[in-house]
Amino acid sequence: MPGKNVSVRVTTMDAELEFAIQSNTTGKQLFDQVVKTIGLREIWYFGLQYTDTKGYITWLKLNKKILNQELKHESPLQFKFRAKFYPEDVSEEIIQDVTLRLFYLQVKEAILSDEIYCPPETTVLLASYAMQARFGDYHPDVHKKGFLANERLMPERVREQYKLSSDQWEEKIVSWWSEHKCMMKEDAMGEYLKIAQDLEMYGVNYFEIRNKKGSELWLGVDALGLNIYEKADRLTPKIGFPWSEIRNISFNDKKFVIKPIDKKARDFIFYVPRLRINKRILALCMGNHELYMRRRKPDTIEVQQMRAQAREERQQKVAERERLQREIAAREAAEKKQREYEDRMLEMQEDMERAKRDLTNAQDTIRRLELSLKELQQAQENLARREEEVKHLGTRLAEEREMEASEKDKLEAEIRRREAEIAAVRREVSEKDAQTRRLQEEVEEARRRQQEASEALLRATTQALHHNKAHNVFEHMEDNYALSNGGDYKVELTSDEYANVPQWEVDRQTAIERNQNIQTRLDALNADLEKMRDRDKVTEYDVLHMENKRAGRDKYKTLRQIRAGNTQRRIDQFENMV
């Protein structure tokens, strides 16, 4: 019924959006509603994807009414909002954080599902950036052992290929993750994409084709141009044509014709299994070519404004992050100081307890001292008395000059005995005197320590209170051009004036190659992993990757190699592939 609302569900990489559309709503109207909802301005990379009535993944035509396209009869109608075109260099081209996040999530999913082949050691590095992008800095006290057990961080191919436990994988990932301290989440996504964009299968749409000989091959369409692959190897292209070498493209039914800028070269012709594939190839070629040429021209006013706004927003975000980091650092310093005070107070309390025990002991010592003093006094009195007695006996002995010898001997013996007793009493008095002085010193030391402990505890308590008061403050590119309903179509791509635009890509180095430290660590990780590899689980693409690595090839070196020679030579090479 005209005017009746139709429910639509659009799934982005991190959200589900529900809309109600009219029967006459076009693809562009829905697309505009989606990008407005998510705040996306770099719309030229994206499109709406759906599964058609024949089960094929198809891009929604933006210039046609939605209900006039080959949609499944379901409610709600299901669409996926996905990147259709990829930037050549993420760090140079992506402007908005929302664009960066959508690309990051889509590329990460493609790597985890093995749609994009990634070497095992590189998956560990990428997993570490994924953790930084999701959780921020690694904190051992928060991210305990086993923290990553339920995280999907690497392709199953990699997990199955090595005799490593989850804990061992986690240890390797964490060793990289801990290196990313203070890296913003958006920066971690950017670093992830800078590594991923150097992978050979990144951003490539593959199509089965045949040359004139009937040889089964792959055509790869990406941001840099058209590449030809052997059927058994989608990792390493054998022939390449940059977008700047292609004048126009056309198809007639299942035959696809590419006319080079080089007028001396023959047409580049291949065949596809179905007409709909040619339509999709044409649309992807047009979109990628336009973006390729646009990147080699000055930015439009709109893009300049977007870049200026993005820079301003990023500066604000960086300033805010720096402010937060300062606050965090101040809070951590305050907490550290607080812990130090608490530890010091605990030490002082322990000292206080010891001092109390010492005081108790001192009090016991005082009591013993008092007793000792009393005993000393008694001993001194006893000594004086005995000395007096001896003196008296001596006087008596002197007076009794004429007493009998036996009495005299007896008196002298008594005097000697009394003198011996006096000597013993003197020794006792001396010992008690020394003991008394020692006890007095112990009492004084105990009192001094008690006083010091009390004063220290008072100081610590005062400082801690001041510390708490001071620091509590930290609490579109539209690719669905109007293709005719018939079986042929033609589109002009590059004019002569743009035939010599720079091919920056052939002179690029991979992000890993530019960072010697990462390169060295990855080589070491690869050597370490190699010891644990199950040879029976090695895939064909692992073998191809190892062969490329041994030969010193990477994405850009291969690109340079497959574009060598003139256009005609490469077309001849294509036609002779078997």
Beta bridge partners, 256, equal 251, 270
- Distance, in Å, from the CA atom of 260 to the CA atom of 502, rounded to the nearest integer, reads 17
Cα–Cα distance between 372 and 435 in angstroms, integer? 8
Residue 453, judged by CB atoms within 10 A of its CB (0-12, 13-18, 19+), counts as buried
Contact 257, 269 (CB under 8 A): yes
Q: Checking DSSP bridges between strand 6-11 and strand 77-83, what pairing results, if any?
A: parallel
| CB of 233 closer than 8 Å to CB of 216 | no
203 dihedral zone (left: phi>0; alpha: psi -120 to 50; beta):
left
Q: Which residues are annotated as a binding site?
A: 61-64, 279
Burial class (CB in 10 A: 0-12, 13-18, 19+), 57: exposed
Structure tokens at 499: 């035939």
Q: Over the range 336-362, which residues count as b (16 or more CB within 10 Å of their CB) and which as e?
A: eeeeebeebbeebeebbeebeebbeeb
Q: How many CA atoms lie within 13 A of 191 on its CB side?
A: 24
Burial class (CB in 10 A: 0-12, 13-18, 19+), 329: exposed
CB 81 within 8 A of CB 10: yes
Short-list 81, 99, 95, 120, CA closest to 40: 99
492 Cβ contact list (under 8 Å, min separation 6): 247, 248
- Written as six digits, the tokens of 532 are 């644990």
Q: Which amino acid is at 27?
A: G
Question: Comparing C-alpha atoms, which of 40, 44, 41, 46 is closest to residue 81?
Answer: 46
Buried b / exposed e across 400-420, counting CB within 10 Å, b at 16+? eeeeeeeeeeebeeebeebee
Nearest in space to 221 (alpha carbons), one of 206, 209, 210, 240: 206
- Give bridge partners of residue 16 from the DSSP assignment: 11
Q: Is residue 101 within 8 Å of residue 187, measured between CB atoms?
A: no
CB 566 within 8 A of CB 262: yes
Q: Is the dihedral of CA 313, 316, 322, 326 positive or negative?
A: negative
First to last CA, the chain: 55
d(CA 575, CA 562): 15
Provide the 10 A C-beta neighbour count for residue 504: 14
Q: How many CB atoms lie within 10 A of CB 321?
A: 13
The residue assigned the tokens 């199509």 is 207
Q: To which residue do tokens 């560990």 refer?
A: 124
